[in-house]
Structure 1
C-alpha cells in the first residue's frame, strides 16, 4: 500500500470534546500533576468513575484484590492509565452506541494499554502512546456517525483496513485514517499521536515509518498491531522498525517481551 497523496475531504461534523476531558487534559499538562485533583475530577463524572472501577477490577489490569475507589485506582495504576480509561469512556460516549462499533472500542482498549505500557517500559512518553492507541480507529466511528446507512454495510463488507480505506475514499473522498487524525487534532492530542493515527495503516502494511517527529509512537502502533494479529512476526517487525526510529533493537525487544508476557497472562486470566 503506497501513501495516498490526493487531497481528501475532511468536511465532517466532528463531535466536541466533552468538558470533563477538557478539564482533565488541562490537569495532565501541568508539570506537577495533582493526583487528588485528577481523582476528584474523574469521581465527579459518574460515567468516568464507573468505567474506571469496572476496568481496574477486570483481569486485564492484573491487580490483586478489589479496588474500592478512584483514588485507590490512581495509586495502584498511576494517573496515565486511569486518565486513559476516562478518555476511552469519553470517546465512546461521543458516538452512537451500536453493535457495529463494539469491536472498534474493544481493540482500542487493548491497543491503548499495550502502547502505553510499551512506552513506559522503554522510558518513552507513555501518555501520547496510550492516547494514540485509543484513537487509532476513531475515524471509523466518525464515518459511521456521519452516514450510518452507507458505512455500516461498508464496515461489514471490508476484508481488512486496506480494503476499507479504498471503499471509504470512493464513498467519502477520504479514509478513516485521515478522519481519525482530524478528530485527534480537534481534541488536542499531541502531534506525535496524531501522526501515528494518520499513518498507521500504511505503517502496518509497508513497515516503513513516515517522516514525522517522535516516530517511536508509530513503532509502538505497529508492535501492538502485531501482538494482536500476528504475534509470531513480532521480533521481525521490531527489528525492521527499530533502526528507522533510531531505537536500540536489544532494548526494544527486551521491553516488548516483558510487556507482552504480562498482557498475555492477564488476557489468559480474563
Structure 2
C-alpha cells in the first residue's frame, strides 16, 4: 500500500488553496455519529441549503436511480437511498461549489461534467459487476478521484497546457507528468482533500493510487482492486463518450480490469455502445 509522508500532506495544506470541509458536512457527520441517527435532524440540516437540496433531488429523480416515483423532499430521499447515500450526494454537491471558476485555469464546467459522468458510470458498473460493495463508494470515488485537478488548476496558470502536453505523451501517467513539472501530483492532493472531507479510507487510498498502472499486476481479490477496476472502466467509457479516444491508462490496465469484472471482449463492446450512445 502506498503511504504519503505526513510532511508532504503538510506542504499541500500550506501551499494550495484546498477546500475546507464545509460546515454542513461537518454537521451531518456529527449527526450520523449517533448510535441511532435522527433522520429528521439530518433532513432538516440538508434542507437549509437550498442549492444543495435542489441538486440532490435532481440527481435522485434522474434515470440513474430509476425510482418508481418522484422524490419531492430530502426526507423522502433519505428514506429511498439511505442516510449514507444522501450524505455522499451532499458531499459531491458541496465539492463542486468549493471552486471558483474565475480563479481556475481549466474549464470547470467541462471538468465537472466529465467527472459526474464517471461517477454515474461507476455506480452503474458497480451495481452490475460488484454488487457486494456499497454502491455509494463507487459514486464518491468517481466524483472525487480527480478532485486534485482543480486544486492544481487554481494554483498553476499553465495547468491546462500541462494537460494538453500529457495527451501527447500517453506513455506517461498524468501524475508522472505533473511530478516532472510541479514536483507534486493531483492524486496526492486528491487524497488530501478526500481524507480531510472524511471519505471512506479505502476510497481515499484508491484516489491516491488511481493512476498507478501496475496496481493490478498481482491480483489479490481485495475490495481496493475492485474499486480501482470499476473506476478505470468508467474512465475509459466516458473518455470514449466525450472524446472518442481511449483513456491514457486503459491500455495498461484493460486486461486485468476485464478479468476482475469478468468481462469478455463482446461484453466490453456492448458496454462501449451503451455508454457512448447515452445522453
Is this a same-fold pair by TM over 0.5?
A: yes
Residues 39, 74 of structure 1: 8 Å contact kept? yes
For residue 16 of structure 1, give the secondary structure of its aligned residue in structure 2.
Answer: coil
Q: 2:66 aligns with which of 62, 65, 78?
A: 62
Q: CA deviation at 1:211?
A: 8.7
Q: Which moved more, 1:228-237 or 1:129-138?
A: 228-237
Q: 1:158 aligns with which of 153, 166, 169?
A: 166
* Residue 229 of structure 2: aligned partner: 219
Residues 24, 41 of structure 1: 8 Å contact kept? yes
Q: Taking structure 1 as reference, are residues 182 and 43 closer, same or farther at Cα in structure 2, changes over 3 Å only? A: same
Residues 64, 120 of structure 2: 8 Å contact kept? no
State how 1:109-258 maps to structure 2 within 5 Å.
Answer: 109-116=116-123, 118-119=125-126, 122-147=131-156, 149-159=157-167, 162=172, 164-203=174-213, 207-208=216-217, 214-215=223-224, 216-229=226-239, 236-241=255-260, 249=262
- In the TM superposition, what whole-angstrom CA distance separates every residue of 1:108-134 from its partner, at most 9, and x where no partner exists? 323333434555562223343332221
TM-score by length of structure 1 reads 0.73
Residues 123, 135 of structure 2: 8 Å contact kept? yes
Residues 223, 238 of structure 1: 8 Å contact kept? yes
1:14 aligns to 2:18 (yes or no): yes
* Residue 82 of structure 1: aligned partner: 86
Greater RCO (Cα-Cα under 8 Å, separation 6 or more) = 1
Aligned residues, how many?
250
- Between the aligned partners of 1:186 and 1:21, the Cα distance in structure 2 is 11
For residue 25 of structure 1, give the secondary structure of its aligned residue in structure 2.
Answer: helix
- Between the aligned partners of 1:29 and 1:128, the Cα distance in structure 2 is 18
Q: Which moved more, 1:19-28 or 1:129-138?
A: 19-28
Residues 114, 224 of structure 1: 8 Å contact kept? yes
* Residue 95 of structure 1: aligned partner: 99
- Between the aligned partners of 1:70 and 1:201, the Cα distance in structure 2 is 36
- In the TM superposition, what whole-angstrom CA distance separates every residue of 1:131-156 from its partner, at most 9, and x where no partner exists? 22211000101101223x22233334
Q: Taking structure 1 as reference, are residues 211 and 92 closer, same or farther at Cα in structure 2, changes over 3 Å only? A: farther
- Between the aligned partners of 2:35 and 2:220, the Cα distance in structure 1 is 29
Residues 217, 256 of structure 2: 8 Å contact kept? no
Unpaired runs of 5+ residues, structure 1, are 243-248
- Between the aligned partners of 1:228 and 1:31, the Cα distance in structure 2 is 39
Q: Which protein has the bigger helix share? A: 1
- Between the aligned partners of 2:219 and 2:185, the Cα distance in structure 1 is 17
- Between the aligned partners of 2:35 and 2:227, the Cα distance in structure 1 is 22
For residue 130 of structure 1, give the secondary structure of its aligned residue in structure 2.
Answer: helix
Q: 1:43 aligns with which of 38, 44, 47?
A: 47
